[in-house]
Structure 1
């Protein structure tokens, strides 16, 4: 930065005021010839010095403002924690799979038109920074519980049917006949199960509309030894 003596500074200030006054007068004039005297070489040099001083001050102010801006620039912040990114872009449209185009082996059609350029489509992607965030946004549905497959007590195979009287599952007609024969022997020996006995075997009734449970008969089949 330049330092001038006090007298030079005062002279420069007066020259600057004259220059401003001349500019104001020129703006007020709407037309006509100008009767102002031309500036001398000394006055032109003084105006040049004033302009130089103004430019230097403007440059200093600009450099100071730029330095302040650089100090105020914030550093790029690092994202901490899970991140979900959303991407939307344009991609070439993939052709649908179909029959292969016929190939001209003999070269009878050398000037075949070029294939048309594939179109474009919009694709959207969502990316997750970790698996925990993905599982929280898209929880997996629990697998449905498969029904328990009952076994036939006679054949020890998966039961396909159920006896409506004894409520025992069975797999085929032979097992059904064995179950009914065992039930007939049970009725002959013990009699038909009464409603009170069935209710006592089933336990206390929770509601008045509840139906008493059926009495189940255990079927045991033994293989005779040879």
Structure 2
């Protein structure tokens, strides 16, 4: 039944899913449909940062819906040969790694690993990524970025409680307006994205 609900409601606005035919809020929100809507938005959006900011604003998860990145130090994940092939770079091309938590107010909405090619960014973009907590999508937005999804994984099946800390995991290639890859990202989207849903 949950699977049927997910297929039936995927892509519908959340407001429509939460309201019944008579305009009243049902006792049990359709979490499968809400999660499917979130996943569809993330997959369709060119920037996860912009998608999360829109979600945060729409559902009033913070007074200020801006997304900020909290860099996590002391973590390093070397890039693999397979990742270099997906980015279209050779074995000697420098790659930088960045691990961040994306926040909306006090809520951590996602955690991300990011391997990016600095030679394909501007000096100002590299300086911002090196010296601040700016989200990657915000820093490179002038490149006209888009995404190509490599994999998506649902980590929670709505209908089971309690809701786990992690909901969805995506891996994607981020490319510029010409289609040239600039980064590979692995993103895990977290339970505070559903804090607006009444249990």
Tell whether the structures are fold-level matches, with TM greater than 0.5: no
More helix by share: 1
More strand by share: 2
TM-score interval, normalised by the smaller of the two chains: under 0.3
- TM-score, normalised with respect to structure 2: 0.20
More contact order relative to length (CA 8 Å, sep ≥ 6): 2
